[in-house]
Structures are given as structure tokens and as C-alpha cells.
Amino acid sequence: MGKVIVHIDLNAFFARAEEIRNPSLEGKPVAIGHDGRSGIVSTCSYAARKFGVSSGMPMFKAKELCPQLIIKPVDFRYYGGLSRVFFNFVKSYTHLVEIASVDECFADFTEVVKKQTNIEQFFRQMQNDLFAKTRLKCSIGVAATKFLAKMGSDYQKPMGLTIIRKRDIPRILYPLPIDKMYGIGRKTAPRLKSIGILTIGDLASRCASDNHELINILGKFYYVIKDWISGKGSDEVIFKPEESKSIGSSSTFHHDTNNIEEIRYMFENLAKEVSSRAVKENRLGTTIQITAKEATFISHNKSITFDNPTNDYRFIYQTAIKLYENNYLPLTVRLVGVTLQNLIDPRDMAIQMSLFNYQEAEEESQTKLLINELNRKLKKPSLIRASEAKKKDK
């Protein structure tokens, strides 16, 4: 028996999050993003899509298509919280979860489904349970490879469930327009159409004869894509151990002290250490907590939460010392500490609304999947993205 790989994709996540927060928006055309000439639609509700509104579209164009469009600003902190709830829900079934973006993941359910008599019913129940517990809507693709699972989750939205077995590929995938194939970007699709490849079925036919025109267009990805549409491809879910929710550091003075200059110096060093670790681990936090332990070993904690996640040393230091001076200035202390809490991955919220284009983000994700596939074939991590190489050089 092969693996059972699942791709779960939250439907219109940001827009749905706003509907959860404000149920009066349900069923109305809603767009998430900045209103104005430079504004871009981050995502939109399905009601807005009926008017032709789409992700990556200039907001002024969206308003022309749908004058009654309701525009909501992006709230990364709120969406990030819902995203973590979603991933924790999936991890309650299996720890083999690979987070693909803020609103989607791959998961290996091979062992889980061995205990199920009706796989379709099991995943439908899971889908309904997610909705009941969080009000989030998702589409699920189930297959033997990551590519097929991804295609399955895209097949029916919202609240779709598609199981793609190898024998189902001609029936489900072949009729789809070539633009709908994961891995075929917006630059490649027109080139394929120019040689008569309009559907995934057309692509499969050309692959069967190792068409030279097709190989010239796809280059090194030809054999990867050929594998994908024949039911082969990667089934490896790359998961990380649970990440810590905080980064902290504390230090004991050589002698008990109430000298504010000594205390400030200690907090500055602690803030630098916490900041350095957060930067190294690529984490941002929204809460700073300080600890002050008296000479009598009594400990005190004080924290503050803020809207904009940070790992900046100066901000951590200034916040920590302000908390101390406002609450514990008269104390004689033997130890102080600083902790950055409620950590998040900056990739979950690093969307620049003036520049953001979801299609570009999707193609970046596709490139990553293709590189992983090629490395799998080479049996070593030989290939990385140019942007990652630049980061390593730095």
C-alpha cells in the first residue's frame, strides 16, 4: 500500500476570518487589502469572486467590478492566531504535517487511515469538525503524492473533498485547462498553449511521446512534470519538531543590587541575546515579559503585548527597562530576565500590500516543490533557490 498524502487548503482564508469575526459579512462581497489607488486585493470572498474580483487585482479595479465591495484591512495578528488553531487541529490527527503557507499544509495520513473503514467519510467528518470547532472552511485533496493531493484540494472549492487515485487521473485531471495545473506558471502556460497544449490531457499526450517542443519549453522540469501526471512524484511530508513559543534569557548579578545603571546594563545584554536568538531562528514575538527576583528569592513577572511583532534588540530593551522602572524600581534584586513570547514565523505576515501578488507567491511555492522533487531524484540537496543562496552568502 502506498502513502496517503493529504493537502488541506483553507478557503478564502483572510476573508473567511473576517466573516468569523463579523457574521454580518457572511455571503457579502468582501475584499481584504488596502483601499486606495495603490491598494491590492489580498484575497476576497466567494461572493466577491462572482463579480470577477480576484487575488492580486488592484483595489480600484475590484471596486469597478463590484461597487458594493466591502473592504477590510489586513489583520496579520488575528489571521496568524487562526492559522495556528488550524495547524494544531490537523496535528491532533497526525504529527506528520508540512506547513506550506499560512493557510495550507500537507499531511501524511498513511497510518491514520489504516484504522478507518470509509476514508471518504473520515475526511468529510474531519472537514466538518474543523468547521464546527473554528468556523473555518477548507478543501481537502487525498492522493498518493503531494502533487495529486494539491490538485485534489484545488479541484472543488469551497468545502471540497477530492480523492485522486492513479486510475482517476485521466477522468479528473486531463479535462482541466493547462493553467490549472500546479507547477505550470503564468509564463509557461501561454507557451504551452502556443503549441496546442490547452489541457492537462494534451500535456499527458505529448509527454507520452517525449515531444521535443515540449521538452524545450519545460527544460529540466519536463521529467518531473511527466512523473506528476503519471501518478508518480514525491510523497515525502517534511515536518519540523514543534517550535518553541518563547525565547528568554536571565542572569544573576554578582551581588544583590538596586543600582538602576547596573540593572539597565544587564537588561541591555539580555535584550541583545534574546534578539540575536530570535533573528537566528527567524522568529518574531508580540509579547515581552520581564522577571525580577528579589534578594529574598521572591520572583515577579510583568509583561506587555503589542500589535506589531518584533525581534528588534532596541525595542526589546526599551520595553523591558520601561516595564522594570514602572513596576520594580525600589526593589533590591539578585536576578533579572527578559522573554520574547507568542512567537510567529515572519513569513506568515510579511505581505507587503502595495507589492503583494498572490500568483507570484503561488509560483514561488511551485518552484520550491519542483526543487524538492529534483533533489529527491538526485538523492542529495544539490539545488536551492537563488534567493536562498544569497541569504547563505550573507
What is the per-residue pLDDT for 36? 79
On average, the pLDDT of the chain sits at: 88
Annotated catalytic residue, options 18, 19, 98, 104: 104
Which pLDDT score is estimated for 361? Answer: 43
- Binned at pLDDT 50, 70 and 90, residue 353 comes out as very low
pLDDT at 173: 96
Q: What is the pLDDT of residue 81?
A: 84
Task: State residue 359's pLDDT score.
Answer: 42
* pLDDT tens, residue by residue, 253-273: 888 899 999 999 999 999 999
pTM of the complete model: 0.65
Average pLDDT over residues 314-319: 96
Distance of CA 296 to CAs 183, 302, 332, Å? 63, 18, 9
Catalytic residue at 363? no
Based on the number of CB atoms within 10 Å of its own CB, is 191 exposed (0-12), middle (13-18) or buried (19 or more)?
middle
Instruction: State percent of the chain over pLDDT 70.
Output: 87
